Amino acid sequence: MTRALVVHHDANSTAGIVGDVLMADGVELAHHTICTTLGSPEPGGALPDLDGHDLLVLTGSRWSVHDLDTIGAWITDELELIRDADRRGIPTLGLCFGGQAIAAAHGGRVAPSDDPEIGWYDIETTRPDVIAAGPWFEWHFDRFDPPPGSTVLARSAAATQAFRLGPHLGLQFHPELDAELLALWILDDADQLTEAGIDVAELVASTVRHQEAARPNTARLVRWWLDGLP
Per-residue pLDDT of 209-222, as tens digits, reads 999 999 999 999 99
Mean pLDDT in residue range 138-167? 96
Pairing of strands 109-121, 92-95: unpaired
Torsion 80-84-89-93 (CA) sign: negative
Domain boundaries along the sequence of the chain: 3-227
Query: What are 65-120's pLDDT values in tens digits?
Result: 999 999 999 999 999 999 999 999 999 999 999 999 999 999 999 999 999 999 99
Find the catalytic residue in 78, 96, 140, 168.
96
Find the catalytic residue in 106, 140, 168, 174.
174
174 belongs to the catalytic site: yes
137 within 8 A of 177, measured Cβ to Cβ: yes
- Architecture in CATH for domain 3-227: 3-Layer(aba) Sandwich (3.40)
- Identify the pLDDT of residue 139: 97
Pairing of strands 55-58, 28-33: unpaired
**pTM score, two decimals?**
0.96
Cis amide prior to 135 (ω within 30 degrees): yes
Q: Average pLDDT over the chain, rounded to whole?
A: 96
66 belongs to the catalytic site: no
Mean pLDDT in residue range 55-65? 97
28 belongs to the catalytic site: no
Find the catalytic residue in 78, 117, 138, 176.
176
